[in-house]
Amino acid sequence: MTTADVVVLLFGGRRLPRALRDLATVTIDDVIAHRRVIVVGSDADLAAVLTRLLQAERLDVEVGHVRRPWAARRARAGEAQRVPLIRDETGPSSSAPHTGCLPPKTPAPSTVKPLPTTPCCSTAR
């Protein structure tokens, strides 16, 4: 894989690790055009990239995640491993804004039976 196939996506004003300085940086809209994307950011940033790849049906793109600068070399040169991604269709779609509201929870039916009210010892002698 050449350096033209590998790009870096920076989030949150993070600094580019030294091991990745000769690679091109892209925006989240450009990640589907490359073979390997290295995400420098948090878990939520990685989730945003994976969501974008799922929506574009580009599951062949290798994704590396760098949380700390010393992990950059492994994300760049490491061998990709397949992991299952589960698509959740119950979440908000890209065309409808997420309002943060959840449907009300219905209480579960009670399965606890009340205890009998008979006294444990007899008071009559």
The ranges assigned to domains in the chain are 6-77
pLDDT-derived band at 116, boundaries 50, 70, 90: low
Q: What stretches of the chain adopt beta strand conformation (E)?
A: 6-10, 24-25, 36-40, 62-66
The predicted structure's pLDDT at residue 74: 92
Q: Which of 66, 62, 67 is nearest to 79 (CA)?
A: 62
pTM: 0.67
Q: Give dist(CA 25, CA 72) in Å, integer.
A: 14
* Residue 48 DSSP one-character state: H
pLDDT at 13 over 80: yes
pLDDT for 118 equals 53
Give 86-101 pLDDT, tens digit per residue. 766 664 444 444 444 4
pLDDT tens profile 21-72: 999 999 998 888 899 999 999 999 999 999 899 888 888 999 999 998 889 9
